Chains A and B, each alone.
Chain A
């Protein structure tokens, strides 16, 4: 396990550097489109779009951990569960406002991330995968068994949607727009983070941890930070998930769901800024459109990911990039 864990093409960082401004523009245009998209889509269609964005936030966090810092977390669904339950319990049982609950959920998952990552990364980087594996099962046990707090398998129902300066966001469309705004803010924060010196240190870590250390980067602190921020994004996603579905139980926060989220990162393209949105589209929205496939969809999705990993480990984003490179070469008149 001495070699760097994730091999990535040497051209990727350079290409990403000049894509940065277009990333910002894409983000803003995308948010504007999504703001108006659900008009005429009906309640269910709007719900699916909102769910896509909420899952994208969770996958974005995992992408920071996996794609930028090169660490495997097998507990992202567990962190989403922590965030969802924290928000649900605070808002329904203690009457805390959703905004405060949102902040507390993020802070709480960030701290749990530090507490988990600190001892695990002290030893050897791959052990984070093992510790998070244990953690996600423990969280699931707690959610299921501590009935007095979490409602056990019956879960928590009647989770209210938040208000915005006195406007109730109870309708599907209003809440969808709220989700769009939150997603945009969280994406902008991540966009800024990734291109800051911090973000570059994350990438250096993934490419070669030992070399990064020799260049004076405190690898452990940066890896820990990437994992904790990634976990906090899981908490934020959960905090939005609870009012979106208005009822939560332990089943969406299992270990297999964590693995599924990891597959979404890889499917979209780990280490690519827009990878999580593509991954969540494949993992969350497509099965809703392909309802006729039923439970077979999970097999189809896993097979697609397996094929992608074999053909193009950079996921759909990598495929698009290759296609784009081939097209522009042809346009320039050069031989492919």
Chain B
């Protein structure tokens, strides 16, 4: 039982990371029909940029952190939208999705060649101790991840549902034409969504990198699982992405413990296929209609 709780907590912690990435994924999908295959690399890169800033300029960690985060938000929040998405969106969903695949290769190989091919340790903001909970040894880092991630998601929910700006963003996502008629600055709202996506990636990166270390290839698994989480949850909702993320994280953690370490990755994949077959609109999703 104690063992089970430990695995459960670890699963919820990684699941919260997947949820952060999956939420950003769905936000970007909603407002601009961008299937971002580079989402995993978005989570990998901020930690690498921070370490790079510290190494290159010999800065203290907090200053390097600020520079790394600012550069990332500029390049992969605003820059991603202006340089990649805006010119491509008129060509349709598929070319844009393929463009993000190209982007993911550039980010991954860029991190490998420009930073390091080896995993680098990333400082943790909380002590790396274990605490005892109901007889189970729980890592404080996992607890911190869960607390911070849920706080971020709660904040986001409040922003989208409870503030005027957030409601404008929501309106833009649901119907840009009507939003424009109502006088909402649609372009600015879309940009805001991309910045939010980048910010969520930064949070996820800061949380996960102390455990997984900063490495160029980290994005592969995170991206794949965030992608699965978004589809399992319902592809177009924050709630869905949260549920999907947690489900995938817990399934992965329990599979590693009780099924097989070699095939742990297979469990979320099979979950994905099962959802597509049984409930293709996702656990929390609505059916979409097809039009000519």
Chain A interface residues (CB < 8 Å from chain B) = 1-7, 66, 70, 72, 119-120, 123-124, 126-127, 129-131, 133-134, 137-138, 141, 144-145, 208, 210-211, 255-256, 259-260, 262-263, 266, 295-296, 298-299, 301-303, 305-306, 309-310, 313
Contacts and interface: CB of A to CB of B under 8 A. Distances in A.
B83 to A, nearest CB: 8
Contacts of B99: 305-306, 309-310
B292 A296 contact: no
Contacts of A129: 97
Given A123-B280, A134-B270, A137-B266, 19 more contacts: A2-B290, A3-B92, A3-B93, A5-B93, A6-B95, A7-B91, A119-B277, A124-B280, A130-B276, A137-B224, A137-B265, A138-B266, A256-B105, A259-B101, A263-B101, A295-B113, A296-B109, A299-B106, A299-B109
A5 B262 CA distance: 37
Contacts of B220: 255-256
**Candidate in B87, B102, B103, B105 with the most chain A CB atoms within 10 angstroms:** B102
Contact of B97 (A70, A72, A138): A72
Contacts of B87: 310
A277 to B, nearest CB: 19
- Pick the 9 closest A-B CB pairs, nearest first: A134-B269, A123-B280, A302-B105, A302-B102, A2-B291, A5-B94, A306-B102, A7-B92, A145-B262
Give the interface SS of chain A, mostly helix, strand, loop or mixed.
Answer: helix
A64 B50 CA distance: 43
B105 A298 contact: yes
B289 A309 contact: no
Contact of B113 (A2, A119, A127, A299): A299
Nearest to A5: B94
Contacts of A120: 276
A279 to B, nearest CB: 12
B94 A130 contact: no
A137 B130 CA distance: 34
A133 to B, nearest CB: 7
A66 B98 CA distance: 11
Contacts of A305: 98-99, 102
Contact of B92 (A6, A306, A310): A6
A145 B263 contact: yes
Contacts of B138: none
B59 to A, nearest CB: 26
B290 A134 contact: no
Contacts of A4: 92
Nearest to A267: B102
Contacts of B228: 134
Contact of B94 (A6, A138, A259, A263): A6
A66 B101 CA distance: 15
Nearest to A301: B105
**Candidate in B84, B90, B290 with the most chain A CB atoms within 10 angstroms:** B290
B76 to A, nearest CB: 14
Given A1-B93, A72-B94, A123-B276, A299 B88 contact: no
B219 to A, nearest CB: 11
B37 interface: yes
Contact of B109 (A141, A255, A295): A295
B251 to A, nearest CB: 14
27 contacts: A1-B33, A2-B291, A3-B92, A5-B92, A5-B93, A123-B280, A124-B290, A130-B276, A134-B228, A138-B266, A141-B265, A145-B262, A256-B220, A259-B37, A259-B101, A259-B105, A263-B102, A263-B105, A295-B113, A298-B105, A299-B105, A302-B105, A303-B102, A309-B99, A310-B87, A313-B88, A313-B95
A254 B90 CA distance: 31
A170 B94 CA distance: 42
A235 to B, nearest CB: 21
B227 A310 contact: no
Contacts of A141: 262-263, 265-266
A56 to B, nearest CB: 19
B44 to A, nearest CB: 14
Contacts of B103: 302, 306
A299 B108 CA distance: 9
Given A299-B106, A299-B110, A210 B88 contact: no
Nearest to B100: A306
Interface string B256-270: 000000110110011
B231 interface: yes
Contacts of B113: 295-296, 299
